[in-house]
Amino acid sequence: MRTEEPRTVRLTDYRPPDWLIDTVELDFSLDAAATKVRAKLQLKPNSTGTPAPLVLDGDDLKLVSLALDGQPLPAASFVATPDKLTIAQPPHRPFQLEIETVVDPAANSKLMGLYKAGATYCTQCEAEGFRRITYFLDRPDVMAVYTTRIEAETSEAPILLANGNLVAQGEVPGTTRHFAVWHDPFKKPCYLFALVGGKLARVADSFTTMSGRQVALHIYVEPGKEERALYAMDSLKRAMRWDEEAFGREYDLDIFMIVAVSAFNMGAMENKGLNIFNDKYVLASAATATDADFAHIEAVIAHEYFHNWTGDRITCRDWFQLCLKEGLTVFRDQEFSADQRSRAVERIGDVRTLRSHQFVEDAGPLAHPVRPALYHEINNFYTTTVYDKGGEVVRMIKALLGPALFRQGMDLYFTRHDGEAATVEQFVQCFADVSRSDFSQFMRWYTQAGTPEVAVTTHYDADAKTYRLDIAQSVPPTPGQPTKQPMVIPLALGLVGKNGDLPLALRDRPLERGIVELTQPNQSFVFTGVAERPIPSLNRGFSAPIKLKLPIEAGDLRFLAAQDSDPFNRWQAVQSLAMSLLTANVATLRRGGTPREDAGLMDALAAILADARLEPAFVALVLTPPSEADIAREIGHEVDPDAVFTARRSLRAATGARLGAALGETHERMRTSAPYQPDAQSAGRRALQNVCLDLLAATRADEAIGRADAQYESADNMTDRMAALETLSQHDRPERARALEDFYRRYAGDPLIIDKWLALQAAIPEPATLERVRALTAHPAFSMANPNRVRSLIGSFALVNHTQFNRVDGAGYEFVADLMLALDSKNPQVAARIMGAFRSWRALEPLRRERAAATLRRVASVPTISRDLHDIVARTLADN
């Protein structure tokens, strides 16, 4: 018997709740092993119809007492189990229910509900964690006003926080305890509830909103780390201003708080007025964090802050609507980062991530629509599809409507649905209303999984001066969806002539903002007045998340790489050149041949490297070949990860050799003696400097390794030190061992930096890595109880190290599976997420495919695994 019953939840089964909750009064008496929770719920029937039983959700709960309108309930009138509280015949009128439960935060290893992160009490309630605190209608369409009283030993938890504004605090007479009372005037679902108690240091600042209100900003961190929260604070203020300017959204409470905790299952959480963060997305300084860390902090701080409107003020009716808040908020944080940094560089980075993660998910057994129709475990749907493809769908709405109408639609959404739990249909309707257009076909982006393929052929008629694009679209089958309907695809394009973009005019329809709208399986577009044979630049800015198939000659790609006015497509042109070389070389390697070089690609790279007008960050992206995951996905079947790796490494080595002088000169030129600044421009210089270093070292030349070694030693910031270490880590030489030892010695006391050390070693593409990682699981710096440690070591091995996870002897699979089986009983959410590493197993060559399947079957057959893990493994194995 499985310990957790499988369950299937379907969107079509949605019904409004039978009961509503107007107010919630919570009273916590914090204690590590036995925290008492008293909850007073003001309930009312949701309809005047038939009286319904009251069934409250629970998870692992112990009921202490229960009273209705102040009267203890007789035992015969209710049933309480750890996961449910049922009152069969409650009065059919408003009443108050008082529930007392007791929970054990110290023993809470799932990190859902109330738990201890080190010495700090904190909560995580999304998606279904509140039911681990008290019995409740744990669904997002039940929205209530919360008042929270927290009491604790003053010495153990001098800081006591909850959602909303502080309304009272004081000592508990005759004890060594104190209390605080917080009130949140905004109705919210219970997944946005939060509480924190602990010994924390506060970084304080303030913000004046556009209407002139003063908001206190408090970031709480471990004492001694205050300096490292300053960048997060700065990011927060910039995000608050940006949301006013870009979306007209003002903050609504008197105080906004962020707490950094050391043990957290995800990145961060948007609890109303009290965001709780994985400390890795708050803490940063030049000496401890890389440019990428700074950029992530800026993005995650903004993301959680933006949720205040897209998530908290307007929440989701049910968990199927998750993309309503997540896709939209990802879109908002991407736009924020684009405005703070370089738009082109941001877009390229976002698309790289999308292709390496979401496209891979969409091409495998875990593919699902942006709005799934069914789930077994909602925790497994916080996916790149819901988040990142969800963000792309919002971006396409903007592309179709243009910025002004898009903004009108957003404004309408905010006014129409403020204070509600909404659906995707309601969101899209706002855009349909402002544009008076029909979005019913567009809704397929929410319901059909799979990455659309768009195949284009081109015809130039020199006499008629017309240019025709024949375009066919199709969506591949995905689990549970064998056939698909055509999508609405906004395809931004340009026709590039010798001297730049040619004027665009369609023969038979208007062309708005350089976008053609695909809606049919096959369509033709005829451009008129085309004076010369143009080179097509399609899906500019990656206007739609599609796979474009366009037969285009290498010479034309080189031309676009040099000339396209759209920077995204300049980058894309080089990627396309590199991708065809890489896939051809993978095939050659598998036949036992030697990879070839592509002089044209090298010329294109050399020209971009030499172009001083280009932003360094952009040049760095152009010099970075497609990721191993992306190459594997492009190949699609019979993938041999060793061949993929070798092809990619040989391209890097060839680049290092061919462009050696320019790379060496650029590596020097990008370095500065100015003190470290995390801004985009300085980060771009370092990015280029470090790509040059890595390409040089790929040649294995002593001089280049020496360069990396010297940079490691002399670096005055973590970005340069880490980049040098990463480069050294790719080479089995004494310099690597020395640097790794040195790094540990320098940073042994700093878990977030040791995470980098763990992740880097787990990613070394050598057969000895498995034993190295196995040994590191016994290292004192490692702990299976901390998700950041587990993700750094095991997650990095499984998800980043394609050659060693996919060892042909299957030992990588077995190792990861054994560890995740062990972790599953403690923290199923993290175990299930890491097991997602198996999602591409079917695309592997037969030997590995068999080994991966055997491991998956073994895990699936363990009767005691969690619902989270079972769901992932069963879907990964299913063949439909």
303 or 848, CB closer to Zn ion? 303
Active-site residue, from 126, 222, 304, 735: 304
Report the nearest approach of ligand 0A1 to the CB of residue 711 (Å): 35
Backbone φ and ψ of 187, nearest 5°: -65, 140
Centre a 10 Å sphere on the Cβ of residue 437 and count the other Cβ atoms it contains: 12
Q: Supply the angle between the helices 554-563 and 599-610 in degrees, to the nearest 10.
A: 0
Which single residue is written with the structure tokens 């908290």?
312
Q: How far is CA 41 from CA 116, 485, 623, 790, 848, in A?
A: 26, 47, 59, 38, 55
Residues 217-256 that bind Zn ion (CB under 5 A): none
221 or 268, CB closer to ligand 0A1? 268
State the binding string over 309-328 for Zn ion (x if CB under 5 A, else -).
-----------------x--
Does 266 participate in binding ligand 0A1 (rule CB under 6 A)?
yes
134 or 840, CB closer to ligand 0A1? 134
Does 620 participate in binding ligand 0A1 (rule CB under 6 A)?
no
Does 268 participate in binding ligand 0A1 (rule CB under 6 A)?
yes
Member of 126, 151, 564, 642 binding ligand 0A1 (CB under 6 A):
126
Which single residue is written with the structure tokens 């991708």?
579
Task: Tell which residue, 344, 222, 240, has the closest CA to residue 283.
Answer: 222
The answer to whether 250 is a known catalytic residue is no
Does 265 participate in binding ligand 0A1 (rule CB under 6 A)?
yes
Kindly state the helix (H) or strand (E) to which residue 871 belongs, with its residue range. helix 867-877
Stretch that binds ligand 0A1, among 38-46, 202-210, 263-271, 416-424 (CB under 6 A): 263-271
Q: Which two tokens stand for residue 582?
A: 């890489």
Does 683 participate in binding ligand 0A1 (rule CB under 6 A)?
no
Does 823 participate in binding ligand 0A1 (rule CB under 6 A)?
no
Does 617 participate in binding ligand 0A1 (rule CB under 6 A)?
no
Burial class (CB in 10 A: 0-12, 13-18, 19+), 551: exposed
Residues 327-356 that bind Zn ion (CB under 5 A): 329
Q: Which does 543 bind (CB under 5 to 8 A by kind): ligand 0A1, Zn ion, none?
A: none
Stretch that binds ligand 0A1, among 266-274, 338-346, 678-686, 730-738 (CB under 6 A): 266-274
Whether 532 contacts 503, CB under 8 Å = no
Does 302 participate in binding ligand 0A1 (rule CB under 6 A)?
no
Which single residue is written with the structure tokens 């369509």?
523
133 or 654, CB closer to ligand 0A1? 133
Residues 733-762 that bind Zn ion (CB under 5 A): none
Q: Which does 492 bind (CB under 5 to 8 A by kind): ligand 0A1, Zn ion, none?
A: none
291 or 326, CB closer to Zn ion? 326
329 or 539, CB closer to Zn ion? 329
Q: Contacts with ligand 0A1: how many residues (CB under 6 A)?
A: 12
Whether 273 contacts 164, CB under 8 Å = yes
Q: How many CA atoms lie within 13 A of 328 on its CB side?
A: 28
Report the nearest approach of ligand 0A1 to the CB of residue 452 (Å): 26
* Residues whose CB falls within 8 Å of the CB of residue 305, separated by 6 or more in sequence, listed in order: 236, 239, 240, 243, 256, 270, 275
Stretch that binds ligand 0A1, among 41-49, 268-276, 528-536, 746-754 (CB under 6 A): 268-276
Does 326 participate in binding ligand 0A1 (rule CB under 6 A)?
yes
301 or 492, CB closer to Zn ion? 301
Report the nearest approach of ligand 0A1 to the CB of residue 182 (Å): 21
Q: Pseudo-torsion of CA 767, 768, 769, 771, nearest 10°?
A: 120
Report the nearest approach of ligand 0A1 to the CB of residue 272 (Å): 12
Q: How far is CA 793 from CA 238, 642, 796, 840, in A?
A: 33, 21, 5, 20
Task: Tell which residue, 55, 60, 59, has the closest CA to residue 78.
Answer: 55
Does 128 participate in binding ligand 0A1 (rule CB under 6 A)?
no
Task: Tell which residue, 423, 513, 524, 413, has the closest CA to residue 466.
Answer: 524
Task: Tell which residue, 253, 255, 298, 257, has the closest CA to residue 275.
Answer: 257
Residues 365-424 that bind ligand 0A1 (CB under 6 A): 382
220 or 712, CB closer to ligand 0A1? 220
Report the nearest approach of ligand 0A1 to the CB of residue 387 (Å): 7
Report the nearest approach of ligand 0A1 to the CB of residue 189 (Å): 12
Does 865 participate in binding ligand 0A1 (rule CB under 6 A)?
no
* Residues whose CB falls within 8 Å of the CB of residue 781, separated by 6 or more in sequence, listed in order: 744, 748, 751, 754, 757, 758, 789
Question: What is the rounded CA–CA span in Å between residue 385 and residue 372?
Answer: 10
616 or 787, CB closer to ligand 0A1? 787
151 or 304, CB closer to ligand 0A1? 304
Whether 718 contacts 288, CB under 8 Å = yes
Centre a 10 Å sphere on the Cβ of residue 119 and count the other Cβ atoms it contains: 14
From the CA atom positions of the chain, what is the Rg in Å?
28
Does 207 participate in binding ligand 0A1 (rule CB under 6 A)?
no
Report the nearest approach of ligand 0A1 to the CB of residue 439 (Å): 25
3-state secondary structure of 805: helix
Ramachandran assignment for 424, one of left (phi > 0), alpha (psi -120 to 50 degrees), beta (any other)? alpha
Whether 240 contacts 306, CB under 8 Å = no
Residues 304-323 that bind ligand 0A1 (CB under 6 A): 304
Question: What is the rounded CA–CA span in Å between residue 131 and residue 364?
Answer: 33
Does 190 participate in binding ligand 0A1 (rule CB under 6 A)?
no
Report the nearest approach of Zn ion to the CB of residue 260 (Å): 17
Backbone φ and ψ of 90, nearest 5°: -70, 160
Q: Which does 267 bind (CB under 5 to 8 A by kind): ligand 0A1, Zn ion, none?
A: ligand 0A1
Report the nearest approach of Zn ion to the CB of residue 307 (Å): 6
Report the nearest approach of ligand 0A1 to the CB of residue 280 (Å): 13
Task: Tell which residue, 668, 720, 848, has the closest CA to residue 289.
Answer: 720
Chain positions contacting Zn ion, by CB under 5 A: 326, 329
Give the active site residues.
304
The residue ranges that bind ligand 0A1 (CB under 6 A) are 124, 126, 265-270, 303-304, 326, 382
